[in-house]
Homo-oligomer: A and B are copies of this chain.
Amino acid sequence: MKSKIILALLAVTLVGTASAQVKPEDAIKWRQSGYGFMAWNMARIKASVEGTYNKDEVIKAANAIQMVATSGMGALYLPGTDKGTGWEKTRAKPEIWTEKEKIGKAAMNLTKEANEMVTVAAAGDAAATKVQLGKLGSTCKGCHDDFKSKL
C-alpha cells in the first residue's frame, strides 16, 4: 500500500514538472473547473435517487466523475498555487503541499469510490446508488475538511 502511494505521488511530481509552463491562474481555474464539473454530476445522481431514477443519467454522471477523478488533476497543484485566483480565489490549504501521504490516500479513496459508483450505476438499483453516492460524497467531504479552506 505504501509503495503504491509513493508511486502515485511520484507520478504526480513528474507530470507536474512536465507542466511547469502552465500559468498559475490557469492551473487554479482548471482545477476549480474539474471540481465544478464533478459537482454537477454528483447533483445529477442525487436528483435521480431523490426523484425518478434515470439509469442512463446515473451511468453518464458516474462515468464523468470517474474520468475527472482519474484525469491526473494532481498536476494542477503546481508549486506556488496555494495562493492566486482562477475562477475565484483558491481555497487550497498549504497542507496540500506538505501532507503528501495523507492527500495521496484521499485521492486514492476518491478513485476507489468513483470506480465503485460506475459499477453500481451499471446495475441500475436506486437504493444501492444512494448508498454509494453517500460513500463517494464522504470522500469529497473528507478532502474538503482537511485541504479546502472554509469561505
A143 CB within 8 Å of chain B: no
Please name all residues of chain B whose beta carbon is closer than 8 Å to the beta carbon of A68 when the two chains form the complex. Answer: 37, 64
Chain B residues within 8 Å of A18, by CB:
47, 51-52, 54, 57
Name which of A26-34, A97-105, A119-127, A134-142 contacts chain B.
A26-34
Q: Is the CB of B76 within 8 A of A71?
A: no
On whether the beta carbons of A36 and B87 are closer than 8 Å, the reply is: yes
Q: A67 an interface residue at 8 Å Cβ cutoff?
A: yes
Q: How far is the CA of A15 from the CA of B47 in the complex (A)?
A: 12
Task: Tell me, rounded to whole Å, the shortest Cβ–Cβ distance linking A107 to chain B.
Answer: 15
| Distance in Å: Cβ of A43 to nearest Cβ of chain B | 7
A 108-137 binary contact with B (CB < 8 Å = 1; else 0): 000000000000000000000000000000
The reply on A60 being an interface residue by CB < 8 A is yes
- Chain B residues within an 8 Å CB radius of A39: 30, 33
Do A40 and B76 form a contact, CB below 8 Å, given A18-B54, A64-B67?
A: yes
Q: Are the CB atoms of A29 and B22 closer together than 8 Å?
A: no
A149 CB-CB contact with B under 8 Å: no
B76 near A67: Cβ-Cβ < 8 Å: no
Instruction: List the B residue with the shortest CB-CB distance to A87.
Output: B87
Task: Give the docked Cα–Cα distance between A13 and B123 (Å).
Answer: 26
Interface of A toward B, CB cutoff 8 Å: 15, 18-19, 21-22, 26, 29-30, 32-37, 39-41, 43-44, 47, 51-52, 54, 57, 60-61, 63-64, 67-68, 70-72, 76, 87-88
